[in-house]
A and B are shown apart, each in its own frame.
Chain A
């Protein structure tokens, strides 16, 4: 796994997005290994967890593109991005760093160039 680093725009924007949405309120240095099951959307009811995961996945996409100057990677469309993020959000042991890595594959963040 690639390192959790504030030199990586995908890590910075993922952290900032989850923090401003109130899903995880930890400082950046302590956030890389936080598991998604600790986020606010993760409730102890599997019926509504998938609903909440989809809500958050859509909102993360909204936030990336409206609050930050973020675009999709070549060949990535909204469908693929939201499907992938939703899937990861339902795997409780995935970490914020895992999510940032996934986002790096889906989005082109400011500072990556290209």
Chain B
């Protein structure tokens, strides 16, 4: 067992040894694996009873010589129970629940017996102090008069675990969690220690949990949670460097209502956006453009679905999806009879959605240290058409998606060459008044006056395959800026028009590689460059 795994095992720390049927000791370890306390346990009336030095007794239960513990490394043992979906614990009078599908049982052979532990698959539970596990207090477990989250409908209530004191000892121990099947337990005795999830290097929550707590601590830091960061290395014209890119988008719809003819919705919204590309050596920043903007939009959406199904057919649709949830892989889902029948129903409902917006925007844009900057006021229009029905003409005419469709066919992701209507690029066109400030390339060319420009943007993304369990997607972004009625100085310096194209490949775990070509308004010179990195968020 590696050192890391040994630490992980210690973190699953409340483990038990069996010196024989009916009695034994529980060893409580700290995070360093040091034994801090031994508790005696005995079996009395079918339940294992732990005795604490102060005389407190906690009964768990017993199954032959197998002994189960809850995943709490320190402190007092909580009451706990398992049902089909959740582990419920009561700690200092607070009820907490956590998903049980991430839990597993593991064994640790030792010289004097077999240690058993129940742990969370990513070790997030053992790393957390007990109380913050509280995520949702079900009404059935809440104290009378205490606040609890609202739940809906009687059947939802039926699915909730019963109160701890309403469970039998056997239910309290084993519930109906299939993972805790007895045959699995005994099979694992003869196998190498099962340390799934105990390698800290493979447990991103080990790091993310404390980071998440830090960023939840205040509104300023919470803001950062909504930012997407991309740590990347890039190469441009033989120079390479490291950089950090960020982008942020927040929208606040102010009103939404149905159109008078009932065929869609319209509304108003405020948008706050930021993007930037920061290189540690800003002289070789390949995409030296940072922008902060505020927008106000009127938007309208029509189409997307028609009320074509009867109530019975809708029930059938949900039943088919329910049955399709049983498949373990997407390939199995896509090839299943249930999914095919569901898709046939969906095709009767789904149609082409046309969304458009008109907006006003104000922005500050500049290079990464803002020594060159533009103040921008403008108006824009955006169009987002989505042909949700994959057999529609609009989907088949999505020429942008044919390269990705070919890749999907080659990777086996799709069985036929099938462009997707939900990947039709989003288009934005804007007319801006720009007030340059600082040492901009235009000023260096002899023109620092205000000017009007048109900008055009296209954004595209499409899946292209699943290889070795990793999902790949193709992304593309095109931007073009051109100045209206540019002066001869600006035209002569070639600064009246910029365009910039990025083609990227990204995976579901955040890795990405991009190829870019072109020039942005604060670039002294354009060119092509490559980036590799990963995306992350707090």
* A residues adjacent to B (C-beta < 8 A): 1-9, 12-13, 15-16, 19-23, 25-29, 34-35, 37-38, 40-55, 58-59, 62-63, 65-69, 73, 78-79, 82-83, 86-87, 90-93, 104-105, 108-114
Query: Can you list 21 A-B pairs, Cβ within 8 angstroms, ordered by A?
Result: A2-B135, A6-B325, A15-B325, A16-B342, A22-B422, A29-B325, A44-B475, A46-B273, A47-B249, A48-B384, A48-B426, A52-B459, A53-B251, A58-B353, A66-B309, A66-B349, A69-B315, A78-B257, A82-B253, A87-B252, A91-B226
- Contact A40 B461, beta carbon cutoff 8 Å: yes
- Contact check: which of B100, B255, B317, B355 meets A58 at CB < 8 Å? B355
Q: Mark B331-366, 1 if CB is under 8 A from A, else 0.
A: 011100000001101100110010101000000000
Question: Given the complex, which residues of B lie within 8 Å of A34, measured CB to CB?
Answer: 508
A19 near B333: Cβ-Cβ < 8 Å: yes
B426 and A3 contacting across the interface, CB-CB below 8 Å:
no
> What would 9 more interface pairs be, CB under 8 Å, given A43-B477, A109-B318?
A20-B343, A45-B477, A54-B355, A58-B301, A62-B304, A66-B307, A79-B253, A86-B251, A91-B225
Most buried by B among A22, A62, A108: A62
Q: How far is the CA of A51 from the CA of B84 in the complex (A)?
A: 40
Cα A48 to Cα B342 with chains together (Å): 31
Question: B314 touching A40 by the CB < 8 A rule?
Answer: no
Q: Are B346 and A86 in contact (CB under 8 A)?
A: no
B260 in contact (CB, < 8 A): no
Interface string of B159-197 (1 = CB under 8 A from A): 100000000000000000000000000000000000000
CB of B256 within 8 A of CB of A79, answer yes
CA distance A63 to B422 in the complex (A): 14
| CB pair B305 A59 closer than 8 Å | yes
Q: Does B217 contact A (CB under 8 A)?
A: no
- Tell me if A66 and B459 are in contact (CB < 8 A): no
Cβ distance B527 to chain A, nearest Cβ, rounded Å: 20
* CB-nearest residue of chain A to B227: A92
Contact A48:B327 (CB < 8 A) given known A63-B350, A78-B256: no
Nearest-neighbour CB distance to chain A for B349, whole angstroms, equals 5
A27 to B466, CA, bound (A): 12
Which residues of B in the span 230-257 have a Cβ within 8 Å of any Cβ on A? 247-253, 255-257
- Within B71-88, the residues touching A (CB, 8 Å) are 84-86
Which listed residue (A9, A22, A66) contacts B390, Cβ 8 A?
A22
CB neighbours (8 Å) of B198 from chain A are none
**Which of A1, A42, A47: most chain B CB closer than 10 A?**
A47
Considering the chains assembled together, what is the distance between the CA atoms of A41 and B537 in angstroms?
Answer: 18
Do residues B382 and A51 form an inter-chain contact, with CB atoms below 8 A? yes
In the complex, A101→B19 CA distance in Å? 46
Give Cα A86 to B255, complex, Å: 13
Known: A43-B460, A51-B355. A111 touches B317 (CB 8 A): no
| Shortest distance from the beta carbon of A14 to any chain B beta carbon, whole Å | 10
Please judge, given known A-B contacts A23-B422, A90-B226, whether A9 and B473 are in contact too, CB under 8 Å.
no
Q: Is the CB of A46 within 8 A of B275?
A: yes
Chain A's nearest CB lies how many Å from the CB of B213? 14
Whether B253 lies near A47 (C-beta < 8 A) is no
A59–B304 contact, CB under 8 A?
A: yes
Across-interface contacts of B154 in A (CB, < 8 A) = 113-114
Do the beta carbons of B315 and A13 come within 8 Å of each other? Answer: no
- Given contacts A45-B477, A111-B155, A112-B155, whether A90 and B85 have CB atoms under 8 Å apart is no
A4 touches which of B101, B349, B459 (Cβ 8 Å): B101
Q: In the complex the two chains form, is B535's CB within 8 Å of A37's CB?
A: yes
Question: In B1-36, which residues have CB < 8 Å from any A CB?
Answer: none
Q: CA separation between A28 and B473, bound complex, in Å? A: 20
B contact residues around A13 at 8 Å (CB): 318, 321
Residues of B near A4 (CB, < 8 A) are 99, 101
Are B305 and A66 in touch, CB under 8 angstroms? yes
- Closest Cβ of chain A: how far from B305's Cβ, in Å? 4
The smallest C-beta distance from B52 to any residue of chain A, in angstroms, reads: 31
Q: How many angstroms from the CA of A6 to the CA of B342 in the assembled complex?
A: 17
A59 to B302 Cα, complex, angstroms: 10
The one of A1, A73, A92, A110 in contact with B152, judged by C-beta atoms closer than 8 angstroms, is: A73
Q: Is the CB of B349 within 8 A of A63?
A: yes
Contacts of A40 in B (CB 8 A): 422-423, 461-463, 473
- Whether B153 contacts A69 by the Cβ 8 Å rule is no
Cβ contact within 8 Å between B384 and A27: no
> Is B388 an interface residue when CB atoms closer than 8 A count as contact?
yes
Q: Please, how many angstroms separate the alpha-carbon atoms of A33 and B368 in the complex?
A: 34
B249 near A90 with CB under 8 A, answer yes
B85 CB to closest chain A CB, in angstroms?
A: 4
Partner of B85, one of A7, A45, A83, A86: A7
